[in-house]
């Protein structure tokens, strides 16, 4: 069902990224005819295939790195996934000939190739129990994880780190470029501005008819992926799914109507909420290890910290108007970069609690 969009107030409250663009191409008309904002991303000509392909590639790469718990893996193979060489993809073999790869959109790519080397090395220790100072597995009951000498799961460092260095980073940067994009020349049914918007939307990893209130089954072929999954997993409390998805819909409709004020509003909304989602995840993962039910449970504590490690690294790519100061970002980095055995043994979890408080205060979380 479509929704009529009316602008009825005289004063317009704007949340803008910067000053209104003075570019001649994208001038706001005096009168914008009313336009509809659909409830699904079914815009004519919408194309974000490459973004979706990268989401799927990341999932297969992550899956491969995860097998290190029970098998030896190689950084060569991981690089194949990263660079799309030697036909590595099997879950979706069409990715192999897609002409798309992860590497060229991943910031700090050498950090990730470094992680591949670490995980490959750790996989040779997957039959040995880990200790502080030597890699191996940690186990509690039926829960088992492969960790480095400092307790870090490198596959999580890759998975969550790349969610930042590729997907979040690209979405933020693309959205930043939207106001200045060409919204006049139509090629294959869409303008450059629309294509940029679609590309950013694709990195969210949600289906066209995404429903933030729905619990998607693991087996659902169109379930939200990567960031899409985190909209529910850690973003329910801040309504991340509803707000980000609706802003993408509204912005795309606004582009069609050349309603640039609204487009810029949605950019700010998306960027702020997505960053808050990063924070919500980071907060959860720096909190779980400090819960009394987690104490003594190394797999749970190290797994959470490893995810936290990845999510905190996402802040590097946060928008310029982020509320997270550089000083606090450095504190978060320093804390999560501490040996995990040290972190979990610290009386009163002082460092982790400090990280939690930074996140809570900066992002209004609890």
Partner 1 sequence: MNINRIKYGMGVTILAITVFIVACSKKSGTDNGPKADGFDKAGMLTNYADNLIIPAYMGLQDQITQLETTANTFLATPNADNQQTLKVAFKTAYLQYEQVSVNQFGPSERVLLNNFLNTFPADNAVIDGNITRGTYDLTQNSTIDQQGFPSLDYVLFAPDALAKFSGSSAANRKKYVQDLLARMKTLTGGVVTTWKNTYKAEFVQNTRSDAGSPIAFLINQFAYEMDQMKGPRIGWPFGKQSGGVQYPDKTEGYHAGISVSLAVANLTNLKKMFTGNNSGKGMSDYLVALNKKPLSDDVIKQFDLAIVKLNAIPDPFSTALANKKTEIEAAYREIQILLTLIKTDVASATGVRITYQDTDGD
Q: Is 320 exposed, middle or buried (0-12, 13-18, 19+ CB in 10 A)?
A: exposed
Query: Cβ 170 to partner 1, closest distance in Å?
Result: 21
Closer CB to partner 1, residue 180 or residue 233? 233
* Cα distance between residue 356 and residue 15, in whole Å: 27
Can you tell me the distance from the alpha carbon of 235 to that of 38, in angstroms, rounded to the nearest whole number? 23
Q: Which is nearer to partner 1, 103 or 261 (CB)?
A: 261
Please say whether the dihedral angle defined by the alpha carbons of residues 84, 87, 88 and 90, taken in this order, is positive or negative: positive
Nearest distance from residue 6's CB to partner 1, in Å? 6
Q: How far is the CB of 98 from partner 1 (least distance, A)?
A: 25
Nearer to partner 1, 48 or 112 (CB): 112
> Hey, what are 1's tokens?
């069902």
Cα separation, 361 vs 54, in Å, equals 34
Measured from the CB atom, is 188 or 348 closer to partner 1? 348
Supply the minimum distance, in Å, between the C-beta of residue 310 and partner 1: 10
Which parts of this chain interact with partner 1 (CB under 8 A)?
A: 6-8, 10, 13-16, 19-20, 28, 30-34, 141, 156, 159, 229, 233, 237-239, 243, 268-269, 272-273, 276, 288, 291-293, 295-296, 300, 303-304, 307, 323, 341, 344-349, 363-366
Measured from the CB atom, is 1 or 22 closer to partner 1?
22
CB of 28 to partner 1, least distance (A): 6
DSSP for 315-357? GGG--TT-SS-HHHHHHHHHHHTS-HHHHHHSGGGHHHHHHHH
Say how far apart CA 231 and CA 213 lie, in whole Å.
10
Query: For partner 1, which is the closer residue by CB, 252 or 273?
Result: 273
Pairwise CA distance, residues 366 & 352, whole Å: 15
Shortest distance, CB of residue 32 to partner 1, whole angstroms?
A: 6
* CA–CA gap between residue 229 and residue 223 (Å, rounded): 8
Q: How far apart are CA 313 and CA 107, in angstroms?
A: 11
Q: Which is nearer to partner 1, 94 or 142 (CB)?
A: 142
Shortest Å, Cβ 344 to partner 1: 6
Residues in contact with 133: Cβ distance below 8 Å, sequence separation at least 6, in sequence order: 149
């Amino acid at each position: 069902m479509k929704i009529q969009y009316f602008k009825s107030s005289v004063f317009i409250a704007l949340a803008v990224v910067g000053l209104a663009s003075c570019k001649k191409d994208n001038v706001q008309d005096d009168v914008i005819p009313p336009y509809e904002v659909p409830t699904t991303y079914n815009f004519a000509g919408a194309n974000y295939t490459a973004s979706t392909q990268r989401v799927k590639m990341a999932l297969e790469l992550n899956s491969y790195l995860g097998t290190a718990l029970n098998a030896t893996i190689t950084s060569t193979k991981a690089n194949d996934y990263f660079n799309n060489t030697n036909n590595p993809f099997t879950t979706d073999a069409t990715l192999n000939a897609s002409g798309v790869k992860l590497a060229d959109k991943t910031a700090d790519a050498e950090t990730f190739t470094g992680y591949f080397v670490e995980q490959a090395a750790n996989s040779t220790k997957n039959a040995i129990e880990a200790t502080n100072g030597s890699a191996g597995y940690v186990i509690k009951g039926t829960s088992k994880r492969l960790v480095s000498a400092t307790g870090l799961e490198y596959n999580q460092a890759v998975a969550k780190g790349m969610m930042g260095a590729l997907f979040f980073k690209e979405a933020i940067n693309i959205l930043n470029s939207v106001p200045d994009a060409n919204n006049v020349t139509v090629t294959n049914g869409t303008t450059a501005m629309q294509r940029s918007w679609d590309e950013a939307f694709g990195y969210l990893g949600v289906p066209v008819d995404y429903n933030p209130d729905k619990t998607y089954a693991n087996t659902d072929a169109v379930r939200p992926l990567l960031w899409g999954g985190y909209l529910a997993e850690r973003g329910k409390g801040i309504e991340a799914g509803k707000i980000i998805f609706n802003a993408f819909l509204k912005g795309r409709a606004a582009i069609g109507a050349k309603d640039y004020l609204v487009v810029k509003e949605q950019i700010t909304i998306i960027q702020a909420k997505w960053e808050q989602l990063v924070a919500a995840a980071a907060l959860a993962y720096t909190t779980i290890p400090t819960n009394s039910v987690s104490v003594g449970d190394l797999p749970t504590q190290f797994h959470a910290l490893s995810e936290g490690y990845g999510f905190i690294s996402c802040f590097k790519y946060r928008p310029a108007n982020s509320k997270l100061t550089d000083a606090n970002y450095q504190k978060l980095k320093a804390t999560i970069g501490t040996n995990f055995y040290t972190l979990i043994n610290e009386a009163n979890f002082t460092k982790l609690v400090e990280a939690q408080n930074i996140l809570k205060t900066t992002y209004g979380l609890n």
